[in-house]
Amino acid sequence: MASSRTGSRTPRELAVTPATETGGRARLLGELRARGSRGGVIGQHRAMVSGRLTPSRVVSMVVMPLLLSAIVALALRPLGSVWRAMLEWIVPQLGLPGDVGFAHVSLGPLLDFYVPHVSAAAPIPGAWHYWVVGAICALVLALTLVLPPRVLPLKYFLRFATLVQLTTFLTFAVRPDSFPYALPQYSLGFLQAGCALLVLIPLVLGLTYFPFDIALWRKVALTLMAVLHIALLLPLQVALHSYVVFHLSLLVLPTMFFIWGLLVEIFVFVAFYGWGMSWPDARLETPSYAPDGATQPQAAAP
Amino acid sequence: MMISVLIVLLWGVVAVLVTYTVRHYIFTFNRLFGRHRQPYVDITAAEWPTVAVFIPCHNEQAVITGSLEALLAADYPADRLTIIPIDDRSTDATGDILGAYARRYPELIKPVFRTGGEPGKAAAMAEAAARVGAEVHLVFDADYVPGPKLLKQLTAPFFDPEVGAVMGRVVPHNVSSNLLTRLLDLERAGGYQVDQQARMNLGLVPQYGGTVGGVRREALSSVGGWRTDTLAEDTDMTFRLVLQGWDVVYQNRSECYEEVPENWPTRIRQIRRWTHGHNQSLARYVMRIISKPANVSGLQALDGALLLGVFAVGPILLLGWLLALLLYYMGYQPPVTILVILLVSAFSTLGNFAAFFEVATATRLDGSRNRVRLLPFLFFGFLVSLMAVSQETILQFIGRGFGGRKIKWDKTERYRNGGGAP
């Protein structure tokens, strides 16, 4: 009941088996070298493991990401329409005034698309906004004082976010009428940057994920999942940012941009990458030698 | 004018970060696809040199027994091995435990009991090493549990007469304790499995890490022995050896297991100590290594300078964020074309991503498939490290200076259940 015929033979039998029957003596000898006790497979020590840069791997690292990136770039036009439809539905639900605008972005005849944006104008901060945002900052700071030491990174992150918010207080205190940004431009710029990120994702994965010995369909699947997830996240994030900035004024726009902006997308991307890196080797999925009960190599080529 | 100055400064910061990013990618691709240099790992039978194994201890009753038992089980000719635990004024039962072992194995275990002099690991090593005539001095921290083959593996490189120091791989054994230990395991994997091995492959400057490694006595003498006025005697030793023309080699196959901090305050103290010591070496050796003495290659000089500056990157990154905030508030926007956005996004993703790529590669090479899913949480670990490193570096540069911090035993907390006399 061995999963392969070779699994039930002795090493001596394997060594004298005609090459034509088994697909080559060299392959058999290679398998024998890695055979451990009770038919298990001896894995290479992790210190010695390295990758395999075959010509086909190099091609897949270059061609497939470029192809996927081009597909994403070409999909930006329909994606812009989807984002617009999403925002046109969400914006009224959130009680934000104004329409959803549509800005033209062009990089030649091939890359020509529209990006939606929220047209609601956020107010310049008034006394009420200072009090509310100030109270939120104070609450967050107080929270960081009572959080247990085991969540220290969260404390640091919250304090860092509060620090960024305090710089905004300072800016508005010094130059109250010269804040150079507005909500519509912000939402447009955010989605434009999102477009760039979407186009880049296949290229980044081509460099950092496609070199590994993972099945090609998995690599493509991870790329598409990351792109789709972030493509859906972006307009939702813009809607949420717009809601917060509209109600709490431009006072919170810098914090939205620096702390809760594309950093969130990078975090999501790294999460997908980590998940993808936990997937098994392509070679382990189609073992050429794996008798029943045999242990698979613990450290195969990545 | 003001904006122009800020932009120039920001470009300077970006240039530094791009340099370190490229370095990460080169190391990772080299480790993945480059030709490996593990030239000494196959030597198992030889005329082995005399070896002294030093274990600096300060209140190590919880872990010292495990370390000594592991060393007693080591596969090394007993007549060529001396185990020298250095008890530096412990106030717990460490001294009693060492005394009991010395009585039981008088030929093998010869402890040194320090009751005076400068405190600290470097001072303890300097005093004990001066008394010992063995050809090779290996060093282990008290919480390390070396495997039976490790002593031979770490000694074998010294058959090459140009090798002055050797470093093995440190692997955490309390990985599954909590999120922090898991994150530290990821970081350690990146540092050793990729960084150190790539340096070894490329003939650069693998770092002697002060434990799970050793120094040739002759090399130690030629550079004047251990310095006692530093918090990072290992980095200091690495650069003094390299500047003197000795090779420092890394043995990825030679693994030893350590306890990593299980709580954040301990971790922060550890990072700050490393930062202080490393920056001391930066101040002492960066100009000397950049000036490229005859026995240091150009690539070694470049890698050495980048290695020395690694803890200065934290405050530089913070400076970059500060400059970006200032320019943002001043209304500076780069020409808004999609190409510029693409460039900025490319740097944000590829640049920020380099460290994750390195860690993920190392973890995959290690075969730790599930652990790599914690990758995004490294953001938080990096944030804590960034703050701790920046705080210590800024204090050093503008505050207390490079030598101002009092040298003392800044012990990392131990978590293993206590041992006892044999």
pLDDT tens by residue, A13-59? 555 555 455 567 777 777 777 777 676 777 788 888 888 888 989 99
B136-139, strands of its sheet edge to edge: B112-114, B81-88, B51-57, B136-139, B213-216, B163-172, B247-258, B145-146
Q: How far is A289 from chain B (nearest CA, A)?
A: 20
pLDDT for A7: 46
The radius of gyration of chain B from alpha carbons, rounded to an integer in Å, stands at 22
Mean pLDDT of the region B292-299? 88
Inter-chain residue contact A47 with B255, CB threshold 8 Å: yes
Q: What is the overall mean pLDDT for chain B?
A: 88
What whole-number distance in Å separates Cα of residue B94 and Cα of residue B63? Answer: 9
The reported pLDDT for the residue numbered A180 is 86
Strand partners, B215: B137, B165
Confidence of residue A300 (pLDDT cuts 50, 70, 90): very low
pLDDT at A30: 72
Is residue B3 scored above 50 in pLDDT?
A: yes
**Which position has the higher pLDDT, A292 or B395?**
B395
As a whole number of angstroms, the distance between CA A205 and CA A170 comes to 40
Test A270 with B328 for CB contact under 8 angstroms.
no
Closest in B329, B338, B381 to A105, CB measured = B338
In a 13 Å sphere around the CA of A241, the CA atoms on its Cβ side amount to 32
Greater confidence (B121 vs B79) lies with: B79
- Residue among A105, A152, A267 whose CB faces B264 most closely: A152
Q: What is the rounded distance in angstroms from the CA atom of residue B161 to the CA atom of residue B222?
A: 14
The nearest CA of chain B is from the CA of A135 a distance in Å of 23
DSSP line for B338-353 = HHHHHHHHHIIIIIHH
A194 vs B56: CA distance, rounded Å: 53
pLDDT above 90 for B247: yes
Q: Is 0.80 topped by the overall pTM?
A: yes
Residue labelled with tokens 């999120």: B179
Handedness of CA A151, A234, A236, A121 (dihedral sign): positive
CA atoms of B214 and B192, how far apart (whole Å): 16
pLDDT digits (tens, 9 = 90+) for A122-165: 999 999 999 999 999 999 999 999 999 889 999 999 999 999 99
A-chain residues within 8 Å CB-CB of B375?
270-271, 273-274, 277
Q: What is the mean pLDDT of residues A277-285?
A: 80
Residues of chain B found within 8 Å of residue A105, distances taken between Cβ atoms: 338
Contact criterion met (CB < 8 Å) for B369 and A279: yes
Report ipTM (2 d.p.): 0.89
Cα–Cα distances in angstroms (integers) from residue B202 to residues B87, B355, B400, in the given order: 39, 19, 37
